[in-house]
Amino acid sequence: MLRFLGFRLLRAAVTIVLVVSFAFLVLRLSGDPAQIIMGADAPPEAVAAFRQAWGLEEPLYVQYLRYFGAILRGDLGRSMRDGREAITLVAERIPATLALTVPALLIKLCIGIPAGITAALHRSLIDRAVMVLAVAGFTVPSFVLGLLLVLVFAVQLGWLPSGGQDSWRHAILPIVTMGVGGAAVLARFTRSAMLEVLGQPYIRTASAKGVPWRAVVWGHALPNAAIPTVTIIGFMVGSLIAGAVVVESVFSWPGVGRLLVVAVANRDLAVVQCILLLVAATMVTANLVVDLLYGALDPRLRNAVRGPEMSEAALPVTLAPPAAPRGCRRWWSSPGSGCC
């Protein structure tokens, strides 16, 4: 178990390093932040002074080493716009984002999993209706669904506000927008996993032995169908911080997603890098928890990391081919071929 955990931790650390390096390189090559922040009418002396103040005139590898060393010390940099620490700006927006993503995640779990299980157990009109709704919710982009909800419930009916963060009523439409699409995805994956498990021989054996169908479903089908479903849930949990970029932009919600859009447009490098590092850490942590759940749900996956370290008793016994007769060159070339 310790080796299994160590392998996953090593993979998580490598993933974070790669994400940080990729984000650093792409942001430096996407444009000059000094020119964008200072403006096109700024004198060259002011632009040069800005570059020198933020270390932008140094070679790229020197900037990378300085940035990576600052991360190891816990310093995520300061915003080029107002000089505040990037982690402070991001931390101020996290509660607003979680106010949308956490209720949306609960909606996904409470609707998607029961709908997928019901569709798999009732292969009739219920299954077709659930799949039609799931495909519709999965294919419609979140910004299109959000605009439709605004058009109907805010413009036409006037029941809910179209944007902002003044009260709990402002959060209803964004939460529904994110919850519908995620519930559709979860319903499809849960249904597919349940159908695959229900077709296994041990399910038929349990039913043939007289085990009640409810016990077969809850005791055999659901635990085995949980492994692929946990993967999707882990991805949804990992996207709690940055999973609302589009929705926050549509509904003018002041969260991390909207801060990321503004920071990218302004080339505020420290803020963008801080958000990407936070998103990568959240996603990697969620995947690590999912891997540990895999090991708890299926011990075969936990032992798979051992690789070639197998005991001699577990190795297959291979019989050596009989000796070739004298003068034969193609003996045992193929089954049934015999001697030349």
Query: What pLDDT tens digit does each residue of the chain (340 aa) get?
Result: 677 677 778 888 888 888 888 888 888 877 777 777 777 777 888 878 888 878 778 888 888 888 888 888 888 888 888 888 889 999 998 998 898 889 999 999 999 999 988 888 888 888 888 888 888 887 888 888 888 988 898 888 888 888 778 788 888 999 999 888 889 889 988 888 888 888 888 888 888 888 888 888 888 788 888 888 888 888 888 877 777 888 888 888 888 888 888 888 888 888 888 888 888 888 888 888 887 777 666 666 555 545 444 434 333 433 344 444 454 444 444 444 444 4
| pLDDT attached to residue 299 | 60
Closest CA to 275 of 73, 92, 123, 8: 92
Q: Give the separation between CA 274 and CA 76, rounded to whole angstroms.
A: 6
| pLDDT attached to residue 329 | 46
| pLDDT attached to residue 51 | 82
Question: What residue ranges in the chain does DSSP mark as E strands?
Answer: none
CB atoms within 10 A of CB 262: 14
Q: What is the largest CA-CA distance in the chain?
A: 95
- φ, ψ of residue 78 to 5 degrees: the values are -125, 155
Instruction: Quote the tokens at residue 334.
Output: 């193929």
| pLDDT attached to residue 58 | 81
Tokens 């349990």 belong to: 206
Tokens 């996904």 belong to: 108
| pLDDT attached to residue 301 | 59
Q: Give the separation between CA 290 and CA 52, rounded to whole angstroms.
A: 45
| pLDDT attached to residue 315 | 38
